[in-house]
Protein backbone atom coordinates (compact mmCIF):
# COMPACT_ATOMS: atom_id res chain seq x y z
CA UNK A 1 0.00 0.00 0.00
CA UNK A 2 1.30 3.41 -0.90
CA UNK A 3 -0.16 6.30 1.10
CA UNK A 4 0.52 9.76 -0.30
CA UNK A 5 0.41 11.96 2.76
CA UNK A 6 3.12 11.52 5.36
CA UNK A 7 1.34 13.92 7.72
CA UNK A 8 -1.61 11.63 8.55
CA UNK A 9 -0.08 9.56 11.36
CA UNK A 10 -3.35 8.02 12.60
CA UNK A 11 -4.26 6.79 9.12
CA UNK A 12 -0.74 5.52 8.48
CA UNK A 13 -0.71 3.68 11.85
CA UNK A 14 -4.10 2.11 11.14
CA UNK A 15 -3.01 0.95 7.69
CA UNK A 16 0.30 -0.40 9.01
CA UNK A 17 -1.55 -2.39 11.69
CA UNK A 18 -3.50 -4.42 9.11
CA UNK A 19 -1.93 -7.91 8.89
CA UNK A 20 0.00 -8.41 5.67
CA UNK A 21 0.14 -4.71 4.77
CA UNK A 22 3.46 -3.23 3.76
CA UNK A 23 3.10 0.54 3.90
CA UNK A 24 5.13 3.01 1.84
CA UNK A 25 4.59 6.70 2.58
CA UNK A 26 4.86 9.39 -0.06
CA UNK A 27 4.05 13.06 -0.13
CA UNK A 28 2.39 14.51 -3.24
CA UNK A 29 5.87 15.81 -4.16
CA UNK A 30 7.51 12.38 -3.85
CA UNK A 31 4.66 10.48 -5.54
CA UNK A 32 5.95 8.50 -8.51
CA UNK A 33 3.86 7.54 -11.56
CA UNK A 34 5.03 3.94 -10.95
CA UNK A 35 3.52 3.84 -7.42
CA UNK A 36 0.05 2.68 -8.59
CA UNK A 37 1.54 -0.33 -10.40
CA UNK A 38 3.40 -1.48 -7.31
CA UNK A 39 0.53 -1.08 -4.84
CA UNK A 40 -2.51 -3.28 -4.24
CA UNK A 41 -4.23 -0.30 -2.60
CA UNK A 42 -3.16 3.25 -3.32
CA UNK A 43 -4.26 5.76 -0.69
CA UNK A 44 -4.45 9.32 -1.98
CA UNK A 45 -4.77 11.71 0.95
CA UNK A 46 -5.84 15.23 -0.07
CA UNK A 47 -4.25 14.59 -3.47
CA UNK A 48 -5.27 13.39 -6.92
CA UNK A 49 -2.59 13.37 -9.64
CA UNK A 50 -3.15 15.78 -12.52
CA UNK A 51 -3.87 12.94 -14.96
CA UNK A 52 -6.85 11.73 -12.91
CA UNK A 53 -7.25 8.56 -10.91
CA UNK A 54 -4.17 6.35 -11.23
CA UNK A 55 -4.43 2.84 -12.63
CA UNK A 56 -3.97 1.11 -9.27
CA UNK A 57 -5.91 -2.10 -8.56
CA UNK A 58 -7.76 -0.30 -5.73
CA UNK A 59 -7.87 3.24 -4.37
CA UNK A 60 -8.77 4.96 -1.12
CA UNK A 61 -9.41 8.67 -1.67
CA UNK A 62 -9.16 10.66 1.55
CA UNK A 63 -10.48 14.23 1.46
CA UNK A 64 -10.08 14.38 -2.34
CA UNK A 65 -9.58 17.88 -3.76
CA UNK A 66 -10.96 16.66 -7.12
CA UNK A 67 -13.09 13.64 -7.95
CA UNK A 68 -12.66 12.38 -11.51
CA UNK A 69 -16.00 11.05 -12.73
CA UNK A 70 -17.77 13.01 -9.99
CA UNK A 71 -17.41 16.46 -8.49
CA UNK A 72 -16.19 18.21 -5.39
CA UNK A 73 -18.56 21.14 -4.98
CA UNK A 74 -17.24 22.83 -1.86
CA UNK A 75 -17.47 22.04 1.84
CA UNK A 76 -20.29 20.49 3.81
CA UNK A 77 -21.81 23.04 6.16
CA UNK A 78 -23.47 20.25 8.16
CA UNK A 79 -21.19 17.23 8.40
CA UNK A 80 -23.10 15.51 11.21
CA UNK A 81 -23.67 11.91 10.23
CA UNK A 82 -27.35 11.30 9.56
CA UNK A 83 -27.32 7.73 8.25
CA UNK A 84 -25.41 4.61 7.28
CA UNK A 85 -25.91 1.77 4.84
CA UNK A 86 -26.26 -1.34 7.01
CA UNK A 87 -25.22 -3.63 4.14
CA UNK A 88 -21.98 -1.77 3.38
CA UNK A 89 -18.98 -4.09 3.68
CA UNK A 90 -16.91 -1.07 4.74
CA UNK A 91 -19.03 -0.71 7.88
CA UNK A 92 -19.30 -4.41 8.78
CA UNK A 93 -18.80 -4.54 12.56
CA UNK A 94 -18.10 -0.79 12.64
CA UNK A 95 -20.02 1.53 14.96
CA UNK A 96 -19.41 5.10 13.85
CA UNK A 97 -22.60 6.49 15.37
CA UNK A 98 -20.53 8.89 17.50
CA UNK A 99 -18.49 10.20 14.54
CA UNK A 100 -18.03 13.96 14.64
CA UNK A 101 -16.30 15.98 11.94
CA UNK A 102 -15.04 19.52 12.37
CA UNK A 103 -17.11 22.35 10.92
CA UNK A 104 -16.30 22.77 7.23
CA UNK A 105 -13.84 19.85 7.30
CA UNK A 106 -15.77 17.51 4.98
CA UNK A 107 -15.93 18.03 1.23
CA UNK A 108 -19.25 17.99 -0.62
CA UNK A 109 -19.01 15.17 -3.17
CA UNK A 110 -21.25 14.45 -6.12
CA UNK A 111 -20.61 10.75 -6.63
CA UNK A 112 -20.68 8.97 -9.99
CA UNK A 113 -23.63 6.58 -10.47
CA UNK A 114 -21.37 3.56 -9.80
CA UNK A 115 -20.73 4.70 -6.22
CA UNK A 116 -22.87 4.44 -3.13
CA UNK A 117 -22.66 6.15 0.23
CA UNK A 118 -21.87 3.99 3.25
CA UNK A 119 -22.29 6.91 5.68
CA UNK A 120 -23.72 10.34 4.98
CA UNK A 121 -24.80 13.67 6.37
CA UNK A 122 -27.89 15.57 5.30
CA UNK A 123 -25.71 17.32 2.71
CA UNK A 124 -23.85 14.41 1.16
CA UNK A 125 -21.70 11.31 1.53
CA UNK A 126 -19.04 11.05 4.21
CA UNK A 127 -17.84 7.53 3.38
CA UNK A 128 -18.53 5.96 -0.01
CA UNK A 129 -17.39 3.17 -2.29
CA UNK A 130 -17.81 2.01 -5.83
CA UNK A 131 -16.23 0.70 -8.95
CA UNK A 132 -14.22 2.49 -11.59
CA UNK A 133 -13.17 0.46 -14.61
CA UNK A 134 -13.06 -2.87 -12.77
CA UNK A 135 -11.22 -1.56 -9.71
CA UNK A 136 -12.57 -0.67 -6.30
CA UNK A 137 -12.52 2.86 -4.95
CA UNK A 138 -13.35 3.85 -1.37
CA UNK A 139 -13.74 7.49 -0.37
CA UNK A 140 -13.55 9.41 2.90
CA UNK A 141 -14.91 12.91 2.23
CA UNK A 142 -12.92 14.30 5.16
CA UNK A 143 -9.49 14.17 6.70
CA UNK A 144 -9.62 11.75 9.66
CA UNK A 145 -7.49 14.12 11.75
CA UNK A 146 -10.27 16.74 11.39
CA UNK A 147 -12.67 14.35 13.13
CA UNK A 148 -12.82 12.04 16.12
CA UNK A 149 -12.60 8.98 13.83
CA UNK A 150 -9.03 8.04 14.87
CA UNK A 151 -10.17 8.01 18.53
CA UNK A 152 -13.14 5.70 17.89
CA UNK A 153 -12.69 2.02 18.72
CA UNK A 154 -14.16 1.29 15.28
CA UNK A 155 -11.38 3.09 13.33
CA UNK A 156 -9.00 0.10 13.00
CA UNK A 157 -11.91 -2.14 11.93
CA UNK A 158 -13.03 0.40 9.32
CA UNK A 159 -9.50 0.53 7.87
CA UNK A 160 -9.28 -3.28 8.02
CA UNK A 161 -12.60 -3.50 6.14
CA UNK A 162 -11.48 -1.01 3.49
CA UNK A 163 -8.27 -2.98 2.89
CA UNK A 164 -10.13 -6.33 2.73
CA UNK A 165 -12.85 -4.91 0.45
CA UNK A 166 -10.26 -3.35 -1.85
CA UNK A 167 -8.65 -6.74 -2.42
CA UNK A 168 -11.83 -8.34 -3.75
CA UNK A 169 -12.21 -8.39 -7.49
CA UNK A 170 -14.64 -5.83 -8.83
CA UNK A 171 -16.71 -7.06 -11.78
CA UNK A 172 -15.77 -5.01 -14.86
CA UNK A 173 -19.38 -4.39 -15.90
CA UNK A 174 -21.28 -4.28 -12.62
CA UNK A 175 -21.32 -1.48 -10.07
CA UNK A 176 -19.53 -2.30 -6.83
CA UNK A 177 -20.56 -1.07 -3.43
pLDDT digits (tens, 9 = 90+) for 29-84: 888 888 888 888 999 999 888 888 888 899 999 999 998 889 999 999 999 999 99
94 to each of 15, 76, 154, how far by Cα in Å? 16, 23, 5
pLDDT digits (tens, 9 = 90+) for 116-140: 999 999 999 999 999 877 789 999 9
109 vs 149: CA distance, rounded Å = 19
Q: Please tell me the predicted confidence (pLDDT) of residue 152.
A: 96
Confidence (pTM): 0.89
| CA proximity to 101, closest of 117, 118, 125 | 125
Q: CB neighbours of 60 closer than 8 A, spacing ≥ 6?
A: 41, 42, 43, 44, 137, 138, 139, 140, 162, 166
- Is pLDDT at 1 greater than 90 in this prediction? no
Q: Please tell me the predicted confidence (pLDDT) of residue 175.
A: 38
5 vs 98: CA distance, rounded Å = 26
Look at 169 and 124; give whichever has higher pLDDT. 124
113 SS3 class: coil
Amino acid sequence: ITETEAFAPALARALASVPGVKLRLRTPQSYEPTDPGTSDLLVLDDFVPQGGLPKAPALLLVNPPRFPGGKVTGKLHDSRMSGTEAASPLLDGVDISSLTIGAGAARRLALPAEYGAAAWSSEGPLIASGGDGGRRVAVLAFEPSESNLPQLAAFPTLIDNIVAWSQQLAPPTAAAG
